[in-house]
């Protein structure tokens, strides 16, 4: 089983994360930010990566540290569970429709983090969550896993649909990328013999 556990404790957050890349999309998420919980649950369910994520953060300051550190810890756990990445699909892409919204997500678990974000919001908050933090969440998880990640909102207007469409697209793309391809016979998917660098 490709599993990992990460614990991080700083003056800003106290986090415990567990992932199972070969799961069924089971989740137990508690960040203290309801909308962020909902989005990480969507990511788990649609990627089929089991995720437990429990955070006690300095929400009396703001949501930035909790949001950022949730992505870092989940990303570190995924990277650890991937190991040397032998046999994985490596690439993933998804078009994600959500009512009037269409988002496109493409990624490469390359070991070389790079992030492109072409999306925006027309309101500053969703529920109690600052919308500017969604871009930061994806940037942080791309860095932590080592993903080249491109996210683009093709069109749409409802802010909730935009965020949910992007998270579901990311989940579907990650599902493709982390799944083991039996035709690869356990080979690392790179002519260099390793990913990263």
pLDDT in tens, 174-183: 999 999 988 8
pLDDT in tens, 117-132: 999 999 999 999 999 9
Class of domain 3-184: alpha beta
What whole-number percentage of the chain has pLDDT above 90? 90
**Residue 193, number of CB atoms within 10 A of its CB:** 8
- Please report where in the chains the tokens 């069924």 appear, as a residue: 24
Query: Where are the chain's structural domains?
Result: 3-184
């Amino acid at each position: 089983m490709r599993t990992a556990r990460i614990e991080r404790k700083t003056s800003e957050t106290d986090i415990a994360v567990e992932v199972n890349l070969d799961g069924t999309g089971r989740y137990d998420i508690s960040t203290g930010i309801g909308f962020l919980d909902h989005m990480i649950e969507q990511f788990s369910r649609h990627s089929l990566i089991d995720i437990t994520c429990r955070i006690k953060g300095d929400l009396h300051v703001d949501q930035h540290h909790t949001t950022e550190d949730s992505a870092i810890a989940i990303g570190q756990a995924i990277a650890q569970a991937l190991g040397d990445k032998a046999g994985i699909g490596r690439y993933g892409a998804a078009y994600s429709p959500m009512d009037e919204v269409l988002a496109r997500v493409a990624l490469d678990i390359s070991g070389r983090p790079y992030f492109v974000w072409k999306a925006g919001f027309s309101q500053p908050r969703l529920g109690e969550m600052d919308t500017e933090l969604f871009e930061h969440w994806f940037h942080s998880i791309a860095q932590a896993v080592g993903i080249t990640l491109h996210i683009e909102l093709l069109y749409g207007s409802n802010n909730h649909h935009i965020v949910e469409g992007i998270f579901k697209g990311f989940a579907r793309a990650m599902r493709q990328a982390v799944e083991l391809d039996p035709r690869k016979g356990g080979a690392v998917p790179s002519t260099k013999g390793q990913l990263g660098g």
